[in-house]
Amino acid sequence: MIKYTQIFQGTAFTSTSPKEVEVLTNYLFCINADGIIEKIVAPSDADYQPLLDAYEGKENFHRLAEGQYFLPGFVDLHVHAPQWAQSGTALDIPLYDWLNTYTFPIEAKFSDLDFAKDVYQDVVSTLLANGTTTALYFATVHKEASLLLAEICAEKGQRGLVGKVVMDDAEQNPTFYRDASTQTALADTEEFILAVKELAKSTKQGVYPVVTPRFIPSCTDDALKGLGELASKHDTYVQSHCSESDWAHGYVQDRFGKNDAFALHDFGLLSDKSVMAHCNFLDDDDADLFAKTGTAVCHCPISNAYFANSVVPIAHLQSKGVEIGLGSDISGGFSPSLFDNVRQAVMSSRMLEDGVNTALPAAERGVQNSRITINEAFYLATAGGGESLSLPIGRLAQNYTWDVQIIDTKLATAKLPIFDAQEDLHDIFQKIMYLARPENIREVWIQGEKVHARK
Ligand code: GUN
Ligand code: FE
> What pLDDT, in 10s, does the model give residues 192-241?
999 999 999 999 999 999 999 999 999 999 999 999 999 999 999 999 99
- d(Cα 51, Cα 244) in Å, to the nearest integer? 51
Say if residue 333 is in the same domain as residue 433. Answer: no
- d(Cα 270, Cα 268) in Å, to the nearest integer? 6
Residue 150 domain-assigned? yes
Domain boundary among 389, 411, 442: 389
Residue 350 domain-assigned? yes
Q: Ligand 1 within 6 A of 303 CB?
A: yes
Residue 309 pLDDT more than 90?
yes
Cβ(119)–Cβ(82) below 8 Å: yes
Mutate to test the pocket of ligand 1, among 89, 95, 218 (most ligand atoms within 8 A of CB): 95
22-70 residue pLDDT tens: 999 999 999 999 999 999 999 999 999 999 999 999 999 999 999 999 9
Measured on CA atoms in the order 98, 101, 102, 106, is the torsion positive or negative?
A: positive
DSSP string for 342-365? HHHHHHHHHHHHH-S-TTS-HHHH
Say if residue 176 is in the same domain as residue 131. Answer: yes
86-135 residue pLDDT tens: 999 999 999 999 999 999 999 999 999 999 999 999 999 999 999 999 99
Mutate to test the pocket of ligand 1, among 244, 299, 330 (most ligand atoms within 8 A of CB): 244
Domain interval for residue 405: 6-72+395-453
Query: How many angstroms separate the alpha carbon of residue 99 from the centre of ligand 1?
Result: 7
Cβ(85)–Cβ(107) below 8 Å: no
Backbone angles phi, psi at 282, to 5 degrees: -60, 130
Cα 200 off chain centre by? 19
Say if residue 152 is in the same domain as residue 231. Answer: yes
CATH number at residue 405: 2.30.40.10
Nearest-CA residue for atom 9 of ligand 1 = 332
Residue 158 domain-assigned? yes
Q: Which atom of ligand 1 is nearest the CA belonging to 308?
A: 9
Residue 1 domain-assigned? no
Cβ(43)–Cβ(50) below 8 Å: no
- d(Cα 288, Cα 167) in Å, to the nearest integer? 28
Residue 455 pLDDT more than 90?
no
Q: Which atom of ligand 1 is nearest the CA belonging to 333?
A: 9
Helix (H, G, I), strand (E, B) or coil at 322: coil
Residue 39 domain-assigned? yes
Q: Ligand 1 within 6 A of 332 CB?
A: yes
Backbone angles phi, psi at 70, to 5 degrees: -95, 135
- Quote the pLDDT of residue 2: 74
Residue 360 domain-assigned? yes
- d(Cα 314, Cα 42) in Å, to the nearest integer? 34
Please name which ligand lies nearest the alpha carbon of 249: 1
Average pLDDT of every residue of the chain: 98
Residue 268 pLDDT more than 80?
yes
Say if residue 442 is in the same domain as residue 385. Answer: no
341-392 residue pLDDT tens: 999 999 999 999 999 999 999 999 999 999 999 999 999 999 999 999 999 9
Measured on CA atoms in the order 56, 60, 65, 68, is the torsion positive or negative?
A: negative
Nearest-CA residue for atom 11 of ligand 1 = 241
Nearest-CA residue for atom 8 of ligand 1 = 332
Q: Count how many domains the chain has.
A: 2
Query: How many angstroms separate the alpha carbon of residue 66 from the centre of ligand 2?
Result: 39
Cβ(328)–Cβ(338) below 8 Å: yes
Q: Which atom of ligand 1 is nearest the CA belonging to 307?
A: 9
Please name which ligand lies nearest the alpha carbon of 137: 2
CA atoms within 13 A of residue 250's CA, in its CB half-sphere: 6
- d(Cα 133, Cα 108) in Å, to the nearest integer? 27
Cα 337 off chain centre by? 10
Residue 329 domain-assigned? yes
Please name which ligand lies nearest the alpha carbon of 172: 1
Q: Which of 108, 107, 206 is nearest to 162 (CA)?
A: 206
Query: How many angstroms separate the alpha carbon of residue 211 from the centre of ligand 2?
Result: 15
Q: Ligand 1 within 6 A of 307 CB?
A: yes
Query: How many angstroms separate the alpha carbon of residue 416 from the centre of ligand 2?
Result: 33
Say if residue 440 is in the same domain as residue 346. Answer: no
Query: How many angstroms separate the alpha carbon of residue 57 from the centre of ligand 1?
Result: 50
Say if residue 78 is in the same domain as residue 68. Answer: no
Instruction: Calculate mean pLDDT across residues 301-315.
Output: 98
Nearest-CA residue for atom 7 of ligand 1 = 332
Say if residue 377 is in the same domain as residue 260. Answer: yes
Residue 1 pLDDT more than 90?
no
Q: Ligand 1 within 6 A of 214 CB?
A: yes
Report which DSSP code applies to 443.
E
Domain boundary among 350, 372, 389: 389
CATH number at residue 338: 3.20.20.140
Query: How many angstroms separate the alpha carbon of residue 241 from the centre of ligand 1?
Result: 7
Q: Which of 199, 216, 219 is nearest to 207 (CA)?
A: 199
Mutate to test the pocket of ligand 1, among 76, 79, 96, 99 (most ligand atoms within 8 A of CB): 99
Say if residue 170 is in the same domain as residue 310. Answer: yes
Query: How many angstroms separate the alpha carbon of residue 299 from the centre of ligand 2?
Result: 10
Say if residue 304 is in the same domain as residue 429. Answer: no
Query: How many angstroms separate the alpha carbon of residue 303 from the centre of ligand 2?
Result: 8
Q: Ligand 1 within 6 A of 260 CB?
A: no
Say if residue 254 is in the same domain as residue 340. Answer: yes
Report which DSSP code applies to 401.
B
Mutate to test the pocket of ligand 1, among 215, 251, 303, 328 (most ligand atoms within 8 A of CB): 215
Query: How many angstroms separate the alpha carbon of residue 300 from the centre of ligand 2?
Result: 8
pTM confidence score: 0.98
- d(Cα 103, Cα 331) in Å, to the nearest integer? 9
Helix (H, G, I), strand (E, B) or coil at 338: helix
Domain boundary among 389, 411, 429: 389
143-191 residue pLDDT tens: 999 999 999 999 999 999 999 999 999 999 999 999 999 999 999 999 9
Residue 329 pLDDT more than 80?
yes
Say if residue 65 is in the same domain as residue 186. Answer: no
416-437 residue pLDDT tens: 999 999 999 999 999 999 999 9
CA atoms within 13 A of residue 391's CA, in its CB half-sphere: 28
Say if residue 193 is in the same domain as residue 255. Answer: yes
